[in-house]
Structure 1
Amino acid sequence: MNRLHPLSAVTYALQYGFFWLWIPMAAVVILGGLFDPVSSAWFPVAAPVGFVAGAAYGIAYYYRFEYGVTPDTFDVASGVFARRSREIPYERIQNVDVRQGVLQRVLGLAIVSVETAGGGNTEATLNFVGDAEARRLQDRIRRRTAAVKERRRDRDRDRDRDGADSLSDEGAESSVDGDRSGTSAPRNGSPDAATDRQAPAPESAESTEPTEPRRQRLFELESRELLLYSFTSLRPAAVAGVMFVFFLATDTIIETLVAVAQPFGGPAALGEGSASSYGILTLVSVINGIVVTYVLSVAYTFGTYYAFRLGRVDTDFVYERGLLQRYSGSIPTDKVQSVTVTDNPLQRLIGYAGLWVETAGYGPESNSGSQSAVPLAKEGRVHRFTENLTGVETPKFRSPPTLARRRYLVRYSLLAAVVVAVAFGITRITVLERWYLAGIVFAAVPPAAHLKYANLGYFVAEDHLVIRRGFWQRRTTVIPYYRIQTVSTRRSIFQRRLGLASLSVDTASSQTLFWETPTIYDVHLADARDVHETGRDRLQRALRERARDEGAGLSVDFT
């Protein structure tokens, strides 16, 4: 078993020291309210005691943390008082991420995260190991994982071959028994048969280390593509950050917004302006918020995908990216649940798109950060990459019936009416007038309904189901039938009246706040049932084929 880098002891000592520092100080405050002899004068003594106790616990945690690479599992043992030991089988390992911040890169340290399929939580985290040790662990675990899969495939092939041989031997024996009664041919378990087929040698407990495979480079994000991706994308993290600052706005931020709005007719100070000046202040503040959000999004995207490279080693995709925070990891192709091509109006205008993959337990924009296969590239190149990866033919999309467009027209008209009603209510309680100017939103209803309808479509291929939806962030998802977990038909009250239905197709990947389950929206009920039935039949066929080809022993029952 190995230990973490010695600097980890310092890190844990400081971490637990500052955390435990507050425990005796809080105890002094509580006891001071109950007993008169206890006062705040005890703080200079209580704080160092808590820090020393926490630092001692951190050092003990470092010495009690061990990890090791065995022939079959990656083992981790941790805990000072409550001991925890984990044995992670290689066949369950989903990804091994290596993360380095600026300070960690200066010190030559890295954080290694081992993730398994079946959930979004990290199974084991090593804080910290040396940079060379992190790369060694990443490569060694990945190679052992590939070796375990290869041995499993070999055993499955041997089992199938042995089954075929046993059937042929039984046929030969029955023919011999029919020709020569009273004599028996040697059976597989006899010494004579043992000389014909030599039993395979048992695997050694100390298996040899697999050789390092050659890494093939597949994609590298060029500087021009990085800039295009940064300036044509909007990161949800930037929006959340600006909203957080807005809700925690300090006097300095408010004074700054007022000062920026003054040249455009804003109030000289809060509480000293007119209704029109406050309207200008609101408008200027909104524009400033949009600009700040966009700038933060550009900076975040640039730093996240700086020097992005994608390669392939054996059957795994390997990637690395990041400027200040450097990431590297892998995307196991045998655990890919679906592939999604994404683009927004700006990217479609310049003919670019991105490619994301979802693996078991992890969805796009998840914390693992391993899901972007191609952040941005020429649209044709992304489509070719998708077809080569999945084997799907070029989709011939079917659109929902035109009845769906009428439904969107009514929906957006109701939404516009709500906007006008809100504007009218604001004029009743404020000095603002001309509420009817809000009716301009009705002009956006027809194009919005058409654009939503025009970007919907689905394609039922021989081995895949392809679903397209969305305008501002259009997503075209390719789902192999054998990856489908559930297929559900949804019908709202309005859909039932129009004879429409929506079909949701779920896989084993985790969904995130900003990505929803792939859904075929607003098709005729008969078409939804037909897709449901076709998906069920082809799922059964795909599972039977995989069970026959790989010996997976899967059940083909579909419920």
Structure 2
Amino acid sequence: MPSAEAPAAAAMDGEQRLHPWSWLFVLLQQLRQFVLPLVALLVFGGGGGREAQWQALAAAIAMVVLVAVSLLQFFTYRYRVGADGVTIRSGWLQRNLREIPFNRIHNVTLHQSLLHRVFGVAEVRLESAGGNKPEAQMRVLGLAAAQALEDVIRHGGSDRAGRTPDAAEPADVPLLALDTADVLRLGFISNRGMIVVAVAFSALWQIFPERVASRWVEQHAQQLLGYATSMHLGVLSTVAAVGSLITFGLLLTRVLSMLLALTQFHGFRLHEQPQRLTVERGLLARLRTSVSRRRIQSWTLQEGWLQRCLRRRNLRIDTAVAETGNRSDARALKELAPIATPDACDALIQHLLPHAQWPMPAWSPLSASMRWRLLLPTVLVLLVLSVPAWLQAGPWGLCIWLWLPWAIYGAWQQTRRAGYAVDTALVAVRGGWWARYWRFAEIDKLQALRLSHSPLDRRCGTASLWLDTAGASNMQPPLRIRFMPEVQAQALYRQLSAALAARRLRW
């Protein structure tokens, strides 16, 4: 996507239409929902004769309806950019008039798929807090019109409020850029390839009848087993062969993950404009999304085992935009640094939170008794499973208790790593062992506190303190301090409650 911004001047005066080709992209978006049923109908549909004619007629009628709906949206959709916001008028039988003030727009996203780039258009998405869907999703605008709209929203409508065209524009400040080596490292670390393979198998199982899929799996498994039997391999050779196949499969999924990362994060660039952060990324499909800095509610630093080996971390943010759970949410600006060195992540946080101190200078560890609270659910589960295991396998069923030493070691490691820190600006939580995380938020962004006691907590004298911010209720890991001694949890609860009562919420 070109980085040059189109001027948001008089070309945007009056009501504007969508791009003339917008109906085609709406039609393609609707057809995506019917691809799998259509393929199944064409491949495994009923025989011929009159039944086939009725199926073809139903498909033709459905296509005509979808085309009509797409054209109707194009002819009835209008938008106007005013001095204070965007006005959207849509609908034919049921007409809607929507007013979106600039100061309510939290995220602005420009998306260009490969087809968008061919036609020179872009999809624009405007998000605000508190809704379960975008405030506006314009499919599609011409690229110049989309960039002009983004420019007006980024300046809060100042273009239309009298800002002179020759006024000095603050230059973009580059904060982070990923080269190809970093993107490939990101793909190697992530597990996107395994997810894609699982989704592909699930889709194939849905397209083909169950008997066809199961017969295919059974046939190839028998062929593979027969080939292995004919080779008369020993035990060690069999184990080596199976291990080689598993290793080869894992390497293939890692290569697929690297290719996916390259398509999604190629050319990743995080830069700062006045009061906004913007990310551009993508190889075939280009995505540019921006968010107001004041809309950032909480922060998450994460590192897994592979990331620690490569000395890399991931920095994510939560914004005041409700999670909807649909696929389009992947376009929101959530990752400020998909992969970066620990020093680069810390420097980025210090730059964006100049009034706070990061890394936190002092962390309060949790009580050593926390390890028993972490271990107790595992012990209860093993006790419950011991009875059926003994009845089913006799004394061998008690082998499930071999898991207990590992659980004890894991609880000890988690207790050793867990902690929290509070100062005048931030409240932070850290935890994890195999995969580590740091979650923190500005105290001025906290909306509510919750002190929870489960029946097991009341028995053990512990409590968990939950810290809620706007738009971050579904984020993982949650912003909470687990299994604190009850006296300590109540003291921290009172301290933060007093701080929240004395401060003004900023979101």
TM-score (norm 2): 0.78
> How far apart in 2 are the matches of 1:19 and 1:343?
36
**Could you report, residue by residue, the CA deviation over 1:255-274 in whole angstroms, capped at 9, with x for unpaired residues?**
4455455555699xxxxxxx
> How far apart in 2 are the matches of 1:266 and 1:521?
56
With 65-74 and 348-357 compared, the bigger mean Cα shift is at: 348-357
Equivalent in the alignment of 2:7: none
Contact kept, 8 Å, 2:107 with 2:291, in 1: the verdict is yes
**Could you report, residue by residue, the CA deviation over 1:338-366 in whole angstroms, capped at 9, with x for unpaired residues?**
12111112212332212111111256994
Shift of 1:69: 1.2
> Which residues in structure 2 correspond to 1:332-481 (within 5 Å)?
332-362=292-322, 366-390=329-353, 391-393=355-357, 394-395=359-360, 396-415=362-381, 438-481=400-443
1:207 maps to 2:207: no
Q: 1:137 aligns with which of 146, 149, 153?
A: 149
The amino acid that maps onto 2:465 is L
1:503 maps to 2:465: yes
Equivalent in the alignment of 2:20: 6
> Which residues in structure 2 correspond to 1:237-252 (within 5 Å)?
237-238=195-196, 241=199, 244=202, 250=213, 251-252=215-216
1:330 maps to 2:290: yes
With 361-370 and 75-84 compared, the bigger mean Cα shift is at: 361-370
Equivalent in the alignment of 1:535: 496
Contact kept, 8 Å, 1:104 with 1:110, in 2: the verdict is yes
The amino acid that maps onto 1:7 is W
With 379-388 and 355-364 compared, the bigger mean Cα shift is at: 355-364
Contact kept, 8 Å, 1:356 with 1:364, in 2: the verdict is no
Contact kept, 8 Å, 2:287 with 2:331, in 1: the verdict is no
Equivalent in the alignment of 1:218: 175
Equivalent in the alignment of 1:75: 87
Q: 2:97 aligns with which of 79, 85, 88?
A: 85
The amino acid that maps onto 2:274 is D
Across the aligned residues of Structure 1 and Structure 2, the Cα RMSD in angstroms comes to 3.9
Shift of 1:379: 0.8
With 317-326 and 288-297 compared, the bigger mean Cα shift is at: 288-297
SS of match in other structure, 1:485:
strand
The amino acid that maps onto 1:523 is M
- Kindly, what percent of the aligned residue pairs are identical? 25
Shift of 1:500: 1.2
> Which residues in structure 2 correspond to 1:95-244 (within 5 Å)?
95-144=107-156, 147=158, 207-208=162-163, 211=167, 212-235=169-192, 237-238=195-196, 241=199, 244=202
Shift of 1:465: 0.6
Equivalent in the alignment of 1:162: none
> How far apart in 2 are the matches of 1:303 and 1:527?
48
1:482 maps to 2:437: no
Shift of 1:535: 0.8
With 291-300 and 528-537 compared, the bigger mean Cα shift is at: 291-300
With 65-74 and 406-415 compared, the bigger mean Cα shift is at: 406-415
Equivalent in the alignment of 1:174: none
> How far apart in 2 are the matches of 1:425 and 1:294?
42
Shift of 1:59: 2.0
Contact kept, 8 Å, 2:129 with 2:471, in 1: the verdict is no
Aligned length: 459
1:519 maps to 2:470: no
**Could you report, residue by residue, the CA deviation over 1:432-488 in whole angstroms, capped at 9, with x for unpaired residues?**
x96565554334222211222122110011121111122343221221111111111
SS of match in other structure, 1:3:
coil
**Could you report, residue by residue, the CA deviation over 1:272-303 in whole angstroms, capped at 9, with x for unpaired residues?**
xxxxxxx9999999888866665554443343
**Could you report, residue by residue, the CA deviation over 1:91-149 in whole angstroms, capped at 9, with x for unpaired residues?**
0001110111122222222111111122342111111112232222212221125x49x
SS of match in other structure, 2:283:
coil
Contact kept, 8 Å, 1:355 with 1:376, in 2: the verdict is yes
Contact kept, 8 Å, 2:185 with 2:258, in 1: the verdict is no
> How far apart in 2 are the matches of 1:397 and 1:18?
50
SS of match in other structure, 1:367:
helix
**Could you report, residue by residue, the CA deviation over 1:46-66 in whole angstroms, capped at 9, with x for unpaired residues?**
765654454344323211111
Shift of 1:253: 4.2
SS of match in other structure, 2:278:
strand
> How far apart in 1 are the matches of 2:94 and 2:138?
18
Contact kept, 8 Å, 2:178 with 2:267, in 1: the verdict is yes
> How far apart in 2 are the matches of 1:303 and 1:418?
47
> How far apart in 1 are the matches of 2:75 and 2:279?
32
Equivalent in the alignment of 1:313: 273
Contact kept, 8 Å, 1:17 with 1:53, in 2: the verdict is no
Contact kept, 8 Å, 1:404 with 1:522, in 2: the verdict is yes
Shift of 1:383: 1.7
Assess, with a 3 A threshold, how the Cα gap between structure 1 residues 411 and 295 changes in structure 2: closer, same or farther: farther
SS of match in other structure, 1:331:
strand
Q: Which runs of 5+ in 1 are unaligned?
A: 21-37, 149-204, 268-278, 547-551, 553-559
Structure with more relative contact order (C-alpha pairs < 8 Å, separation 6 or more): 2
With 256-265 and 380-389 compared, the bigger mean Cα shift is at: 256-265
> How far apart in 2 are the matches of 1:47 and 1:458?
59
> How far apart in 2 are the matches of 1:44 and 1:233?
44
